[in-house]
């Protein structure tokens, strides 16, 4: 929601010109956001809250021959070729009528009722020719619970009308296309949005939705080694991802994951971690090496002797990598995450206790050299007791001095 405040490993923009890779001071050097072949990195983006209407065909609760009068009565004893359907338990404020024929002469096309069919709230009779049909919206009177619609009139033609209800849903993602860095279309996945696992979580009170892609499926086999970007749309707005770099063999890269046990809401928006479940994933070209060992202690002095009260030894793992500004934006949340883990060369460092990044910007471009350090289950602590406990032996039946084995 706030410009230049990225919350996702793979950021999205409202214009392709906003891509970091297209800024003039990059000088054509695109930061390699590494991505396993066939995958997209998990991502989220925030948009204004939007809804879409869907139509559902209604099945009648009652039906018989007849027509509807201007007074709202259902006359059921007239000429064949006329057919009326009744629909109960109406909950919306409008219906969609499809190819409903012109009404019987002197009658109306539809009637709205309240709590019973004796309570006529209004009629619907749009202007249509004698041999024509009506397709469009019927805005219902307030309090409508039942409607009757004349769906057939043989005198008006071979029409068989249908009635649909409206319901509102959070507007889903509708289009997904992947392009090469130069703008060549690689694949259009718009028809597979549902199976790809996209979700839209609404935050109605805050006025926005969060589009979430968990990135669990290898659903994009067309992408080989190279650089690409995603075009995403919801029918109202279109977004463009940052350029990312696909690699066929990701095994040699450092994998960093982090997540929370509940959604992380801040002034800039919300990072979704529940419903659906989500984990941030980032691959870095780096090695964990040259750890640091820190030692601290609390001591007291007594009669010229030093007694340690508490001693703590820590091992801090370290690694270095290059990062662009948009990546540093999101990496600051690792330290705040409930859970984080790092995997490198088959070894996983779980339950990371602390995580710290220290970027140093290069003179040219937007690249920073980042030193990262973390601790995980490597803290050793010893509490002093104020004296050295003697090692005492056991008595036995030989009555010698082996009960005092401190010096043995």
Per-residue pLDDT of 350-360, as tens digits, reads 889 899 999 99
User: Quick one: what percent of the chain has pLDDT higher than 90?
Assistant: 70
Q: Are residues 76 and 29 in the same domain?
A: no
Contact predicate 264/212, CB 8 Å: no
* 188-193 mean pLDDT: 94
d(CA 363, CA 360): 10
Residue 408: predicted pLDDT: 47
Query: Do residues 179 and 34 both lie within one domain?
Result: yes
- Residue 225's alpha-carbon distances to 144, 176, 183, 235, 249, in angstroms, are 60, 20, 16, 31, 9
pLDDT at 386: 52
- Out of 169, 186, 217, a domain closes at 169
pLDDT recorded at residue 388: 53
pLDDT score recorded for residue 295: 83
Q: Do residues 311 and 295 make contact, with C-beta atoms less than 8 angstroms apart?
A: yes
- Residue 177: which CATH number? 2.60.40
60 & 165 share domain: yes
- Are residues 99 and 155 both part of a single domain? yes
Share of residues in the chain with pLDDT > 70 (%): 90
Band of the pLDDT at 77, cuts 50, 70, 90? low
Residue 86 lies in a domain: yes
Q: Which of 249, 275, 298 is the last residue of a domain?
A: 249
Instruction: Confirm whether 75 is domain-assigned.
Output: yes
Query: Mean per-residue pLDDT for 32-37?
Result: 96
User: Residue 233: inside a domain, yes or no?
Assistant: yes
pLDDT at 47 over 80: yes
My answer on whether 75 and 39 are in the same domain is no
Please check the confidence at residue 219 and state whether its pLDDT lies above 90: no
Q: Is the peptide bond before 362 cis (omega within 30 degrees of 0)?
A: no
Q: What is the mean pLDDT of the chain?
A: 89
What is the structure's pLDDT at 390? 54
Give the pLDDT of residue 284: 98
Quote the distance between the C-alpha of residue 320 and its chain's center.
30
Is the confidence at residue 392, as pLDDT, over 70?
no
394 pLDDT above the threshold of 60: no
- DSSP of 308-341: EEEEEEEEEEEEEEEE-HHHHHHHTTTTT-SEEE
Residues 203 and 76 in one domain: no
Is the pLDDT at 52 greater than 80? The verdict is yes
Average pLDDT over residues 88-107: 93
> Please, what sign has the CA dihedral across residues 330, 4, 234, 227?
negative
Residues 6+ away with beta carbon under 8 Å from 194: none
In the predicted model, is pLDDT for residue 404 greater than 60?
no
pLDDT computed for residue 97 by the predictor = 96
Residue predicted with more confidence, 106 or 43: 43
Verify that 44 and 184 share a domain, yes or no: yes
Closest CA to 95 of 136, 123, 67: 136
| Residue that is last in its domain, among 201, 224, 249 | 249
pLDDT in tens, 269-318: 999 999 999 999 999 999 999 998 888 888 888 777 877 788 787 889 99
Residue range 142-180, pLDDT digits in tens: 999 999 999 999 877 778 899 999 988 999 999 999 999
Q: Which residues pair with 284 in a beta bridge?
A: 254
Three-state SS across 157-176?
CCCCCEEEEEEEEECCCCEE
- Residue 69 and residue 27 share a domain: no
Domain residue limits at 146: 55-169
Whether residue 1 has pLDDT greater than 50: no
Check residue 378 and give its pLDDT: 66
Judged against a pLDDT cut of 80, whether residue 94 lies above it is answered with yes
Strand order of the sheet with strand 133-139? 51-57, 162-170, 94-101, 133-139
Confirm whether 401 is domain-assigned: no
Decide if 282 is inside a domain.
Answer: no
Q: Is the pTM of this model over 0.75?
A: yes
**Looking at the structure, do residues 61 and 146 belong to the same domain, yes or no?**
yes
pLDDT at residue 131 is higher than 60? yes
* Model confidence at 114: pLDDT above 90: yes
Domain for residue 65, yes or no? yes
Q: How many domains does the chain have?
A: 2
In a domain, 112, yes or no: yes
Question: What token pair was written down for 206?
Answer: 């805050």
pLDDT at 27: 76
pLDDT at residue number 396 = 58
* 43 and 130 fall within a common domain: no
Average pLDDT over residues 372-386: 74
Q: Is residue 63 part of a domain?
A: yes
Cα 381 to Cα 386: distance, rounded to the nearest angstrom: 16
* 59 and 157 fall within a common domain: yes
């Amino acid at each position: 929601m706030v410009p230049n405040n990225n919350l996702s490993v793979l950021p999205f923009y409202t214009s392709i010109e906003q891509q970091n890779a297209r800024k003039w001071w990059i000088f054509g050097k695109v930061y390699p956001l590494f991505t396993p072949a066939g995958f997209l990195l998990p991502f989220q983006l925030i948009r204004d809250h939007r809804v879409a209407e869907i139509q559902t065909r209604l099945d009648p609760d009652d039906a018989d021959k007849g027509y509807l009068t201007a007074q709202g009565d259902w006359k059921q004893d007239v000429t064949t070729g006329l057919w009326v359907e009744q629909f109960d338990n109406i909950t919306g404020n409008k219906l969609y009528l499809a190819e409903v024929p012109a009404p019987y002469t002197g009658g109306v096309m539809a009637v709205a009722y309240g709590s019973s069919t004796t309570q006529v709230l209004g009629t619907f009779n749009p202007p249509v020719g004698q041999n024509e049909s009506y397709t469009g919206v019927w805005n219902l009177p307030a309090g409508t619970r039942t409607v009757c619609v004349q769906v057939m009139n043989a005198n008006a033609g071979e029409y068989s009308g249908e009635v649909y209800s409206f319901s509102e849903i959070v507007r889903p993602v509708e289009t997904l296309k992947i392009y090469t860095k130069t703008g060549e279309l690689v694949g259009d996945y718009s028809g597979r949005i549902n199976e790809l696992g996209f979700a839209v979580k609404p935050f109605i009170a805050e006025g926005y939705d969060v589009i979430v892609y968990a990135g669990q499926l290898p659903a994009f086999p067309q992408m080989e080694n190279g650089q690409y970007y995603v075009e995403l749309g919801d029918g109202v707005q279109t977004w463009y991802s940052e350029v990312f770099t696909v690699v066929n063999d990701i095994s040699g890269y450092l994998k960093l994951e982090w997540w929370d046990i509940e959604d992380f809401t801040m002034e800039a928006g919300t990072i979704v971690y529940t419903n659906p479940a989500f984990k941030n994933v980032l691959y870095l070209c780096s090695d964990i090496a040259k750890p640091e060992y820190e030692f601290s202690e609390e001591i007291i002095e007594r009669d010229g002797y030093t007694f340690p009260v508490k001693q703590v030894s820590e091992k801090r793992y370290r690694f270095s990598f290059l990062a662009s500004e948009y990546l540093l934006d999101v990496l600051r949340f690792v330290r705040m995450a409930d859970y984080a883990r790092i995997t490198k060369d088959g070894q996983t460092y779980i339950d990371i206790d602390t995580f710290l990044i220290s970027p140093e910007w290069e003179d040219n471009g937007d690249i920073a050299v980042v030193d990262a350090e973390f601790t995980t289950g490597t803290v050793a602590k010893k509490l002093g007791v104020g004296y050295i406990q003697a090692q005492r032996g056991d008595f036995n039946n030989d009555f010698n001095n082996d009960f005092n084995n401190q010096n043995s």
